Amino acid sequence: MPELRRITVNGVELNVALAGSGPAVLLLHGFPHTWELWTDVIADLSGRHRVIAPDLRGFGASGPADSGYDAGTLAEDAEGLLAALGVSSAAVVGIDAGAPPAFLLALRRPGLVRRLVVMESLLGRLPGAEDFLAGGPPWWFGFHSAAPGLAETVLEGHEAEYIDWFLRAGTLGAGVRPAVRDAFVRAYTGREALSRAFSYYRAMPESAAQIDEAVTAARLTVPTMALGAHPVGSALERQLRPLTDDLTTHLIEDCGHIIPLHRPDALLALLRPFLAGEDSRAA
Protein backbone atom coordinates (compact mmCIF):
# COMPACT_ATOMS: atom_id res chain seq x y z
CA MET A 1 0.00 0.00 0.00
CA PRO A 2 1.45 3.39 -0.94
CA GLU A 3 2.17 6.00 1.70
CA LEU A 4 -0.36 8.85 1.63
CA ARG A 5 1.02 12.30 2.38
CA ARG A 6 -0.43 15.82 2.46
CA ILE A 7 1.79 18.28 0.57
CA THR A 8 0.94 21.95 0.08
CA VAL A 9 1.72 23.07 -3.45
CA ASN A 10 0.78 26.26 -5.29
CA GLY A 11 -1.63 27.24 -2.53
CA VAL A 12 -3.47 23.89 -2.44
CA GLU A 13 -2.94 20.91 -0.14
CA LEU A 14 -2.58 17.83 -2.33
CA ASN A 15 -3.21 14.26 -1.26
CA VAL A 16 -0.29 12.28 -2.70
CA ALA A 17 0.35 8.53 -2.90
CA LEU A 18 4.05 7.66 -2.74
CA ALA A 19 5.74 4.30 -3.25
CA GLY A 20 9.07 2.76 -4.21
CA SER A 21 12.47 4.21 -4.97
CA GLY A 22 14.54 4.94 -8.05
CA PRO A 23 13.90 7.25 -11.03
CA ALA A 24 10.76 9.28 -10.33
CA VAL A 25 7.48 8.71 -12.19
CA LEU A 26 4.62 11.19 -11.74
CA LEU A 27 1.12 9.85 -12.51
CA LEU A 28 -1.73 12.30 -13.28
CA HIS A 29 -5.30 10.94 -13.30
CA GLY A 30 -8.46 12.20 -15.01
CA PHE A 31 -12.25 12.14 -14.48
CA PRO A 32 -13.90 10.43 -12.63
CA HIS A 33 -10.76 9.11 -10.96
CA THR A 34 -8.45 9.64 -8.01
CA TRP A 35 -4.86 8.46 -7.51
CA GLU A 36 -6.37 4.98 -7.06
CA LEU A 37 -6.77 4.78 -10.82
CA TRP A 38 -3.08 3.82 -10.79
CA THR A 39 -3.28 1.07 -8.13
CA ASP A 40 -2.02 -1.73 -10.39
CA VAL A 41 0.55 0.52 -12.06
CA ILE A 42 1.97 1.63 -8.71
CA ALA A 43 2.23 -1.94 -7.45
CA ASP A 44 4.36 -2.89 -10.45
CA LEU A 45 6.45 0.23 -11.09
CA SER A 46 7.34 0.84 -7.45
CA GLY A 47 9.81 -2.02 -7.62
CA ARG A 48 12.02 0.07 -9.91
CA HIS A 49 10.76 3.63 -9.59
CA ARG A 50 9.79 6.28 -7.07
CA VAL A 51 6.12 6.58 -7.94
CA ILE A 52 4.25 9.82 -7.18
CA ALA A 53 0.47 9.83 -7.72
CA PRO A 54 -1.45 12.90 -6.50
CA ASP A 55 -5.13 13.60 -6.44
CA LEU A 56 -5.33 16.67 -8.69
CA ARG A 57 -6.37 19.91 -7.02
CA GLY A 58 -9.97 19.74 -5.87
CA PHE A 59 -10.25 16.03 -6.67
CA GLY A 60 -10.37 13.12 -4.26
CA ALA A 61 -8.80 13.97 -0.91
CA SER A 62 -6.86 16.98 -2.19
CA GLY A 63 -7.88 20.38 -0.87
CA PRO A 64 -10.56 22.44 -2.60
CA ALA A 65 -9.66 25.36 -4.81
CA ASP A 66 -11.82 28.18 -6.11
CA SER A 67 -9.85 28.32 -9.36
CA GLY A 68 -6.89 26.82 -11.15
CA TYR A 69 -8.48 23.90 -12.98
CA ASP A 70 -6.93 24.95 -16.29
CA ALA A 71 -4.14 22.81 -17.70
CA GLY A 72 -1.50 25.50 -17.14
CA THR A 73 -2.18 25.74 -13.41
CA LEU A 74 -2.35 21.96 -13.06
CA ALA A 75 1.06 21.80 -14.75
CA GLU A 76 2.35 24.31 -12.20
CA ASP A 77 0.91 22.12 -9.43
CA ALA A 78 2.80 19.13 -10.84
CA GLU A 79 6.04 21.10 -11.06
CA GLY A 80 5.62 22.38 -7.52
CA LEU A 81 4.92 18.89 -6.22
CA LEU A 82 8.12 17.54 -7.75
CA ALA A 83 10.06 20.45 -6.26
CA ALA A 84 8.52 19.86 -2.81
CA LEU A 85 9.63 16.23 -2.99
CA GLY A 86 13.15 17.18 -4.09
CA VAL A 87 12.72 15.60 -7.54
CA SER A 88 14.87 17.18 -10.27
CA SER A 89 13.92 14.78 -13.08
CA ALA A 90 10.80 12.68 -13.59
CA ALA A 91 8.89 10.75 -16.19
CA VAL A 92 5.35 12.12 -16.35
CA VAL A 93 2.32 10.00 -17.25
CA GLY A 94 -1.10 11.58 -17.80
CA ILE A 95 -4.49 10.24 -18.85
CA ASP A 96 -7.71 12.09 -19.67
CA ALA A 97 -7.72 15.37 -17.68
CA GLY A 98 -4.15 14.65 -16.58
CA ALA A 99 -2.76 14.56 -20.12
CA PRO A 100 -2.93 18.30 -21.04
CA PRO A 101 -1.04 19.42 -17.88
CA ALA A 102 1.50 16.63 -18.40
CA PHE A 103 1.99 17.84 -21.98
CA LEU A 104 2.36 21.49 -20.95
CA LEU A 105 4.85 20.59 -18.21
CA ALA A 106 7.01 18.65 -20.67
CA LEU A 107 6.80 21.45 -23.23
CA ARG A 108 7.69 24.17 -20.71
CA ARG A 109 10.21 22.24 -18.62
CA PRO A 110 12.04 19.69 -20.79
CA GLY A 111 14.90 19.68 -18.29
CA LEU A 112 12.53 18.46 -15.59
CA VAL A 113 10.49 15.94 -17.58
CA ARG A 114 12.66 13.00 -18.54
CA ARG A 115 9.97 11.18 -20.54
CA LEU A 116 6.30 11.85 -21.26
CA VAL A 117 3.42 9.40 -21.61
CA VAL A 118 -0.06 10.67 -22.53
CA MET A 119 -3.13 8.58 -23.20
CA GLU A 120 -6.81 8.77 -24.05
CA SER A 121 -7.13 12.53 -24.19
CA LEU A 122 -7.22 15.43 -26.59
CA LEU A 123 -4.89 18.42 -26.49
CA GLY A 124 -7.22 21.37 -26.84
CA ARG A 125 -7.91 22.51 -30.38
CA LEU A 126 -4.71 21.17 -31.96
CA PRO A 127 -5.25 19.73 -35.45
CA GLY A 128 -5.54 15.96 -35.75
CA ALA A 129 -8.71 15.18 -33.82
CA GLU A 130 -11.16 16.09 -36.57
CA ASP A 131 -12.29 12.49 -37.21
CA PHE A 132 -12.85 11.87 -33.49
CA LEU A 133 -14.86 15.08 -33.19
CA ALA A 134 -16.80 14.68 -36.46
CA GLY A 135 -20.01 13.98 -34.57
CA GLY A 136 -19.28 16.63 -31.96
CA PRO A 137 -17.47 16.35 -28.63
CA PRO A 138 -18.58 13.67 -26.12
CA TRP A 139 -21.98 14.63 -24.72
CA TRP A 140 -20.76 15.06 -21.16
CA PHE A 141 -18.34 17.83 -22.18
CA GLY A 142 -21.29 20.14 -22.79
CA PHE A 143 -23.29 18.87 -19.82
CA HIS A 144 -20.44 19.37 -17.37
CA SER A 145 -19.58 22.82 -18.67
CA ALA A 146 -23.15 24.13 -18.90
CA ALA A 147 -24.45 26.96 -16.74
CA PRO A 148 -22.73 26.76 -13.34
CA GLY A 149 -24.67 24.53 -11.00
CA LEU A 150 -26.82 22.82 -13.63
CA ALA A 151 -25.02 19.47 -13.79
CA GLU A 152 -24.57 19.48 -10.02
CA THR A 153 -28.29 20.04 -9.48
CA VAL A 154 -29.22 17.21 -11.82
CA LEU A 155 -26.72 14.73 -10.40
CA GLU A 156 -26.74 15.40 -6.68
CA GLY A 157 -28.09 12.28 -4.98
CA HIS A 158 -27.37 10.16 -8.08
CA GLU A 159 -23.58 10.30 -8.10
CA ALA A 160 -23.08 6.53 -7.82
CA GLU A 161 -25.22 5.78 -10.86
CA TYR A 162 -23.43 8.46 -12.87
CA ILE A 163 -19.92 7.32 -11.92
CA ASP A 164 -20.89 3.70 -12.60
CA TRP A 165 -21.84 4.66 -16.16
CA PHE A 166 -18.37 6.07 -16.81
CA LEU A 167 -16.65 3.08 -15.22
CA ARG A 168 -18.63 0.60 -17.30
CA ALA A 169 -18.23 2.57 -20.52
CA GLY A 170 -14.52 3.10 -19.84
CA THR A 171 -13.91 -0.63 -19.48
CA LEU A 172 -16.16 -1.77 -22.35
CA GLY A 173 -18.70 -3.09 -19.86
CA ALA A 174 -16.29 -4.94 -17.58
CA GLY A 175 -16.44 -2.48 -14.68
CA VAL A 176 -13.74 -2.05 -12.03
CA ARG A 177 -13.01 -3.70 -8.69
CA PRO A 178 -15.58 -2.81 -6.01
CA ALA A 179 -13.02 -1.15 -3.71
CA VAL A 180 -11.80 1.17 -6.47
CA ARG A 181 -15.34 1.85 -7.67
CA ASP A 182 -16.40 2.78 -4.15
CA ALA A 183 -13.40 5.09 -3.72
CA PHE A 184 -14.30 6.94 -6.91
CA VAL A 185 -17.96 7.27 -5.91
CA ARG A 186 -16.99 8.68 -2.50
CA ALA A 187 -14.63 11.16 -4.14
CA TYR A 188 -17.35 12.55 -6.43
CA THR A 189 -20.31 12.53 -4.05
CA GLY A 190 -21.76 15.86 -2.95
CA ARG A 191 -22.43 19.15 -4.67
CA GLU A 192 -19.02 20.65 -3.89
CA ALA A 193 -17.13 17.59 -5.14
CA LEU A 194 -19.12 17.59 -8.36
CA SER A 195 -18.58 21.31 -8.87
CA ARG A 196 -14.82 20.95 -8.49
CA ALA A 197 -14.75 18.08 -10.97
CA PHE A 198 -16.80 19.99 -13.53
CA SER A 199 -14.51 23.02 -13.12
CA TYR A 200 -11.98 21.14 -15.24
CA TYR A 201 -14.48 21.05 -18.13
CA ARG A 202 -15.46 24.69 -17.59
CA ALA A 203 -11.76 25.61 -17.87
CA MET A 204 -11.30 23.77 -21.17
CA PRO A 205 -11.38 26.92 -23.35
CA GLU A 206 -8.64 28.46 -21.20
CA SER A 207 -6.63 25.23 -21.34
CA ALA A 208 -6.98 25.10 -25.12
CA ALA A 209 -5.72 28.68 -25.44
CA GLN A 210 -2.73 27.82 -23.23
CA ILE A 211 -1.89 24.84 -25.43
CA ASP A 212 -2.24 26.90 -28.62
CA GLU A 213 0.12 29.53 -27.23
CA ALA A 214 2.63 26.99 -25.95
CA VAL A 215 3.04 25.12 -29.23
CA THR A 216 3.75 28.34 -31.12
CA ALA A 217 6.73 28.96 -28.84
CA ALA A 218 8.30 25.50 -28.53
CA ARG A 219 8.41 21.95 -29.82
CA LEU A 220 8.09 18.87 -27.64
CA THR A 221 11.65 17.60 -27.43
CA VAL A 222 11.43 14.95 -24.69
CA PRO A 223 10.84 11.31 -25.70
CA THR A 224 7.06 10.94 -25.78
CA MET A 225 4.70 7.98 -25.95
CA ALA A 226 1.05 8.40 -26.95
CA LEU A 227 -1.33 5.55 -26.12
CA GLY A 228 -4.81 5.15 -27.50
CA ALA A 229 -7.70 2.81 -26.82
CA HIS A 230 -11.47 3.25 -27.15
CA PRO A 231 -12.79 5.82 -27.90
CA VAL A 232 -9.94 8.31 -28.52
CA GLY A 233 -7.84 5.90 -30.57
CA SER A 234 -5.16 7.58 -32.68
CA ALA A 235 -6.47 11.16 -32.39
CA LEU A 236 -3.88 12.10 -29.76
CA GLU A 237 -1.09 10.68 -31.89
CA ARG A 238 -2.21 12.79 -34.85
CA GLN A 239 -2.24 15.92 -32.68
CA LEU A 240 1.26 15.24 -31.37
CA ARG A 241 2.98 14.04 -34.55
CA PRO A 242 3.67 17.46 -36.17
CA LEU A 243 5.15 19.04 -33.04
CA THR A 244 7.04 16.20 -31.35
CA ASP A 245 10.67 15.30 -32.05
CA ASP A 246 10.62 11.77 -30.62
CA LEU A 247 7.19 10.11 -30.64
CA THR A 248 6.30 6.47 -29.91
CA THR A 249 2.69 5.40 -30.42
CA HIS A 250 0.56 2.38 -29.61
CA LEU A 251 -3.11 1.45 -29.83
CA ILE A 252 -4.19 -1.03 -27.14
CA GLU A 253 -6.70 -3.41 -28.66
CA ASP A 254 -9.93 -4.40 -26.91
CA CYS A 255 -9.37 -1.76 -24.28
CA GLY A 256 -11.62 0.96 -22.97
CA HIS A 257 -10.78 4.52 -22.01
CA ILE A 258 -9.70 3.65 -18.45
CA ILE A 259 -6.55 1.84 -19.57
CA PRO A 260 -4.83 1.52 -16.15
CA LEU A 261 -7.79 -0.39 -14.70
CA HIS A 262 -9.09 -2.19 -17.79
CA ARG A 263 -5.83 -3.46 -19.28
CA PRO A 264 -3.07 -2.80 -16.70
CA ASP A 265 -0.88 -5.65 -17.94
CA ALA A 266 -0.94 -4.34 -21.52
CA LEU A 267 -0.20 -0.83 -20.26
CA LEU A 268 2.69 -1.97 -18.07
CA ALA A 269 4.19 -3.99 -20.93
CA LEU A 270 4.53 -0.68 -22.80
CA LEU A 271 5.43 1.52 -19.83
CA ARG A 272 8.27 -0.57 -18.41
CA PRO A 273 10.62 -0.43 -21.42
CA PHE A 274 9.71 3.15 -22.31
CA LEU A 275 10.37 4.46 -18.81
CA ALA A 276 13.64 2.52 -18.76
CA GLY A 277 14.74 4.28 -21.94
CA GLU A 278 14.37 1.28 -24.22
CA ASP A 279 13.01 1.67 -27.73
CA SER A 280 9.39 0.48 -27.76
CA ARG A 281 8.18 2.53 -30.74
CA ALA A 282 5.50 1.17 -33.02
CA ALA A 283 6.67 -0.40 -36.27
Q: Which residues of the chain have pLDDT under 50?
A: 279-283
Q: What is the predicted pLDDT for the residue at 6?
A: 98
Contact predicate 83/24, CB 8 Å: no
Closest CA to 185 of 80, 36, 49: 36
Question: Which H or E run contains 147?
Answer: none
Domain ranges within the chain, ordered by starting residue: 3-133+206-275
Query: DSSP 3-state assignment of 81?
Result: helix
Pick the CATH number of 3-133+206-275 from 3.40.50.1820, 3.40.50.150, 3.30.420.40, 3.30.70.260: 3.40.50.1820
| C-alpha distances out from residue 276 to 22, 44, 270, Å | 11, 14, 10
d(CA 36, CA 60): 9
Contact predicate 229/252, CB 8 Å: yes
Query: DSSP 3-state assignment of 90?
Result: strand
Query: DSSP 3-state assignment of 13?
Result: strand
